[in-house]
Amino acid sequence: MERLLRSGARFAAKAMVLVAMQESVASEVEVGRLGPGLVFERPWRKTGCRAGIEVLTGRRKQDCCTG
């Protein structure tokens, strides 16, 4: 019964959005997708991981993490 109720709730939420769009009471928004690069870039820089890896790869004469 619980699984059935969850499934029904998901359907109801989608139906509410569709009805709102049909009745022109929902506002349109632009949707964009974020990739891993955008999601992790700030923590990567703030934690110092990027600088540490650049130091380590520089010793080995490898080109990594530039950009």
Convert 15-67 into a string of H (helix), E (strand) and C (coil). Answer: HHHHHHHHCCCCCCCCCCCCCHHHHHHHHHHHCCHHHHHHHHHHHCCCCCCCC
**pTM for this entry:** 0.30
Burial 3-13 (b: 16+ CB within 10 A, else e): eeeeeeeeeee
The pLDDT, as a whole number, for residue 61 is 57
On the question of pLDDT at 49 being above 60, the answer is yes
pLDDT band at 59; cut points 50, 70, 90: low
Rounded CA-CA distance 55/64 in Å is: 10
The label of the residue with tokens 């029904």 reads 8
